[in-house]
Chains A and B, each alone.
Chain A
Amino acid sequence: MQKNSNLRTIGFATILGLVCSILLTFANIQTKPLRLANEKAEELTNYLFVLDVPVSPGAKADDLLKIFDKSIRVKEAGGIKFYEYYPENSSDDKPVAVAVAFNGPGLWDKIGGVIALEPDLKTIKGISFYKQAETPGLGGEIASDWFQSQFIGKSIISPSGTPGFKILKPEAATDSNSVDGISGATMTSSRVEVILEKLAGTISNARSAYEQ
């Protein structure tokens, strides 16, 4: 057969395509459990982090899963899932902190995260924006410690009693339900504000259902 005949060309392409796809399918199946475990662990780490659950650094995916199963209980109320943290050695039947997941549109991609509140569902104990693809160094700073640590101790209820949360201009005077925004990342800051405003509303609406 001629080296460049149509038939041979098609045959070559078919065989190459088959070999490559079999190889990739095999690799995909082989690594799938590990990849899924990594993704799961990533999510759990963020819940454990905002809830302030003690985790040894460098814990493996299945260790995290064990800790999560042991100390976190999921309670559904008012249409949202509350992840309640009961410390291992406490006999108290009240949770120490409650986490709620959130997401919404960012500048480039969806922003997802998790917020931890005191059991009163008002005071913020911690927040993590772990799913984000904002501009590195600018909007991407929402995932940094300095930005996230500003939220600790703040409230999702304004001083006048209405639910809400504000991201102000950098260096502006903040009050009990606002934090400093990121200079150079106004677009990301305002989108995060929209997400948190909505979240504050949803949580407040579900509060009575949760407390029952």
Chain B
Amino acid sequence: MSNNLAAGQKIKIRDIFADGVYRFNPITVQVLGICSALAVTNRVDNAVVMGGALIFVTAFSSLLVSILRKSIPLRIRMIVEVAIIATFVILFDQFLKAYAWNMSKQLGPYVGLIITNCIVMGRAEAFATQNTPLTSMFDGIANGIGYSIVLILVALVREIIGSGTLNIFGTQILTLLDIGYTKNLLFVLAPGAFFTAGFIIWGVNAITNTKEDANE
């Protein structure tokens, strides 16, 4: 977890975003919340909406946990956090069902499963309980963005290799099927996500490690 952001210190927004998106990216560095990263990344559309859902939930649950941080009884702290997270997740799910029916069907149970996403709980527990509301909200947004970027990257690879096409919200950007490309089922199914996410995590860590060595 981000140790350089100790409680009580004055924290720069830029640092929060650098940590959430890059330095301590929840997926590539902390390897949290990869369950949904594996499940919904067979299409870019799904990844975008899932990322949006996570940004919404982490932002508001961190905000609320931080507002209540001084009054939450210690013994039920985590239960309270889960209750708050669950409320926002269900709100988002209902919203999708009412206004984006097809997307809701595509994502199936995975929107509901954001409740158990380690990133949301992790940020609420590790950051929001020790920092001021606005800072916590920015931290939630930053981590949500970090998650979304990786999700979209994985989805880009999987959709192109798996389906041979790239459709973003109804607009076809690319199709390899015309030139005789055969769809690769492995990438449509979850194992494809393991490979893709694994390579991305490896790549990112290889790059960041080199930089750290160079700085020393």
Contacts and interface: CB of A to CB of B under 8 A. Distances in A.
Interface of A: 3-4, 8-9, 12-13, 16-17, 20, 23-24, 27-28, 31, 34-35, 38, 41-42, 133, 135-138, 184
Contact of A20 (B83, B98, B101, B188): B83
A34 B96 CA distance: 10
21 contacts: A3-B71, A3-B74, A4-B74, A4-B75, A9-B75, A13-B80, A16-B80, A17-B83, A20-B87, A24-B90, A27-B91, A28-B94, A31-B94, A31-B98, A38-B97, A38-B98, A136-B42, A136-B188, A136-B189, A137-B42, A138-B189
Contacts of A8: 73
Interface of B: 42, 71-76, 79-80, 83-84, 86-87, 90-91, 94-95, 97-99, 101, 108, 162, 185, 188-189
A130 to B, nearest CB: 10
Which secondary structure characterizes the binding site on chain B? helix
B178 to A, nearest CB: 17
A166 B71 CA distance: 65
Contact of A137 (B90, B91, B188): B188
Contacts of A41: 101
Contacts of B91: 23-24, 27
Given A3-B71, A35-B98, A41-B101, 13 more contacts: A3-B74, A9-B73, A12-B71, A12-B80, A13-B76, A20-B86, A24-B87, A27-B91, A28-B94, A31-B94, A31-B98, A137-B188, A138-B185
A93 to B, nearest CB: 36
B103 to A, nearest CB: 11
Contacts of B97: 31, 34-35, 38
Contact of B101 (A4, A27, A42): A42
B43 to A, nearest CB: 10
Nearest to B71: A12
A171 to B, nearest CB: 16
B84 to A, nearest CB: 7
A138 B191 CA distance: 14
Nearest to A5: B73
Contact of B73 (A3, A136, A137, A138): A3
A35 B104 CA distance: 11
Nearest to A38: B101
Contacts of A9: 73, 75-76
A166 B87 CA distance: 47
Contacts of A13: 73, 76, 79-80
B87 A23 contact: yes
Contacts of B72: 12
A42 B95 CA distance: 17
B13 to A, nearest CB: 29
A141 to B, nearest CB: 10
Interface centre among B42, B73, B99, B162 (most CB of A within 10 A): B73
A23 B90 CA distance: 10
A34 B90 CA distance: 16
